[in-house]
Amino acid sequence: MDTLRIILQVLLVLTSFLVVVLVLLHKGKGGGLSDMFGGGVSSGAGSSGVAERNLNRLTIGLALLWTLVVVLLGLIQRVSA
């Protein structure tokens, strides 16, 4: 059970970091952090809609994985206590 807990904790840290990075990469509506990293330049490109849609899917998928890991860690904590 301890090995599973360690694996889930490492997965939680990795998914937390990746979700933060992916959220910051989204195109801003009013010139936020995404414009600092070139978001304003790519907003005129025609293919940015597909990239934004894929970024949305990846962010949602990672957020769901993060939620699942949190729930599993909570269940492990409840069972072991």
pLDDT in tens, the chain (81 residues): 799 999 999 999 999 999 999 999 987 666 555 566 665 555 555 446 888 899 999 999 999 999 999 999 999 999 987
Q: How many angstroms from the chain centroid is the CA of residue 10?
A: 15
Q: What pLDDT sits at residue 26?
A: 83
d(Cα 52, Cα 9) in Å, to the nearest integer?
A: 29
Give rounded-to-5 percent helix, strand, coil for the chain.
80, 0, 20
pTM of the model: 0.74
- Take residue 10 and report the two structure tokens written for it: 């490492």
Q: What pLDDT sits at residue 56?
A: 93
Question: Please, what is the end-to-end C-alpha distance for the chain in angstroms?
Answer: 12
Q: What pLDDT sits at residue 4?
A: 94
- Take residue 59 and report the two structure tokens written for it: 């962010």
| Phi and psi at residue 76, to the nearest 5° | -65, -40
